[in-house]
């Protein structure tokens, strides 16, 4: 494969601006806590101040993450955020924080979380999921997780088995009994599919977090050229594009990408931007909340790429800033044990070893 062109250099002015932005971001994240004896009035002022700061941090962080290059075709960050009305974020934050200190969810709740997303609007579903991140799950032995998740451990029925169940129900003359048998067939298939989907989602998200970690490591100096090369190299590997460029020189490939294929390349980049953004969003959530984000299908990157409220990023960042570091570490350690038990139950020993290696090598940034 032809060698990639050298990465672009940033100018001294850009480096100075980036250093200033990083210093501002660092200062914003160091609000000192109030004394336990602080008055209710002081606490109210601090809450308002904290909400305002939480709204400012995403805007500054976007510039830092982009290396002060907004408009990059990498699509790796949130759109330049506007400052949300503090009351919007604060209202949601107060609702979520009511669950802080609540009794951890029982193991039996996991089945319901896996089975269906929370009902309601995007914001309502997000708040329910964020509340779970505060509560976590009880610390149970592997045998207990195997008992609770037993309905999800069944092998996925073959299409022949599914048709046989459907035929059996069809020959049942009593409508009431026919409904019971059809429901049983559907539930058997659904439970097995949920088990397979959840296991694959966990394994997929482990790799998503590795991708995002590599992606976010390239910021600032040279990041535009690096991410531009990624987009063009990945586009060239698409099944219908690869034959068109087979055997061409690097110069001819560039001429094709800048000419006849440029419109399709641009459209592909725009379609791929939400995917990259969602992967980076999942990494940010992992760095804030730890392994718990791998245990809820609500945080599926496919869902995060398309379905989210306008204040979602502001809310989870504000929630992270309001959570003491030692609480986050304790929840991550407990969630890691739960995650390994769930993977060991739904998958193979090699699956659990794969996830365990990830947890060992990728400690959440806020907990390292």
Pair of tokens at residue 2: 């032809």
Segment 262-286 mean pLDDT: 90
Whether 92 and 311 have beta carbons less than 8 Å apart is answered as yes
Q: Which residues pair with 105 in a beta bridge?
A: 137
The backbone torsions φ and ψ at residue 156, rounded to the nearest 5 degrees and listed phi first, read -65, 120
- CA dist 180 to 161, 166, 168, 171, Å? 17, 12, 12, 13
Whether 298 and 272 have beta carbons less than 8 Å apart is answered as no
Pair of tokens at residue 170: 């069809």
Segment 259-286 mean pLDDT: 90
| Per-residue pLDDT at 65 exceeds 70 | no
Which one-letter DSSP state was computed for residue 29?
Answer: T
| Per-residue pLDDT at 180 exceeds 80 | yes
For the chain, the maximum distance between any two Cα atoms, rounded to a whole number of angstroms, is 81
Q: What was the pLDDT predicted at 206?
A: 94
154 vs 317 pLDDT, higher one: 317
- CA dist 362 to 172, 211, 213, 365, 367, Å? 54, 12, 9, 8, 10
Whether 28 and 57 have beta carbons less than 8 Å apart is answered as yes
Q: What was the pLDDT predicted at 337?
A: 95
Report the residue count for the chain: 368
- CA dist 329 to 52, 114, 231, 295, Å? 26, 24, 36, 17
Q: pTM (2 decimals)?
A: 0.68
| Per-residue pLDDT at 77 exceeds 50 | no
Q: Average pLDDT, whole number, for the chain?
A: 79
Which residues does 221 contact at the CB level (< 8 Å), separation at least 6?
Answer: 7, 9, 10, 15, 67
Distance of CA 123 to the CA centre of its chain: 16
Which tens digit of pLDDT belongs to each residue from 276-332?
889 999 999 999 999 999 999 999 888 787 778 888 888 999 888 888 888 888 899
């Amino acid at each position: 494969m032809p060698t990639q062109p050298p990465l672009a250099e940033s100018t001294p002015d850009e480096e100075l601006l980036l250093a200033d932005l990083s210093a501002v971001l660092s200062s914003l994240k160091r609000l000192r806590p109030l004394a336990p004896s602080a008055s209710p009035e002081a606490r109210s002022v601090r809450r308002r101040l904290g909400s305002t700061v939480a709204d400012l941090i995403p805007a500054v962080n976007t510039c830092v993450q982009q290396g002060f290059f907004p408009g990059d075709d990498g699509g790796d960050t949130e759109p330049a955020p506007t400052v949300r009305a503090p009351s919007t974020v604060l209202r949601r934050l107060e609702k979520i924080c009511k669950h802080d200190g609540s009794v951890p969810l029982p193991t039996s709740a996991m089945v319901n979380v896996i089975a269906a997303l929370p009902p309601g609007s995007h914001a309502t579903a997000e708040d329910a999921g964020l509340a779970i991140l505060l509560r976590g799950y009880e610390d149970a032995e592997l045998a207990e997780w195997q008992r609770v998740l037993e309905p999800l451990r069944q092998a996925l029925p073959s299409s022949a088995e599914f048709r046989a169940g459907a035929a059996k129900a069809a020959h049942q003359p009593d409508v009431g009994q026919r409904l019971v048998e059809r429901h049983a067939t559907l539930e058997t298939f659904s439970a097995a599919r949920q088990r397979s989907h959840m296991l694959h989602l966990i394994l997929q998200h482990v790799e998503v977090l590795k991708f995002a970690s590599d992606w976010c490591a390239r910021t600032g100096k040279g990041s535009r050229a690096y991410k531009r090369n990624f987009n063009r190299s990945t586009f060239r590997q698409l099944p219908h594009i690869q034959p068109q460029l087979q055997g061409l020189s690097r110069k001819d490939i560039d001429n094709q990408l800048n000419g006849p294929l440029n419109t399709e390349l641009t459209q592909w980049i725009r379609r791929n931007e939400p995917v990259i953004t969602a992967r980076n969003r999942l990494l940010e959530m992992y760095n804030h909340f730890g392994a718990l984000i791998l245990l809820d299908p609500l945080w599926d990157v496919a869902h995060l790429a398309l379905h989210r409220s306008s204040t979602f990023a502001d809310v989870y960042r504000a929630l992270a800033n309001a959570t003491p570091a030692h609480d986050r570490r304790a929840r991550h350690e407990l969630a890691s044990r739960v995650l390994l038990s769930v993977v060991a139950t739904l998958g193979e020993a090699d699956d659990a070893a794969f996830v365990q290696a990830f947890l060992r090598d990728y400690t959440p940034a806020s907990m390292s």
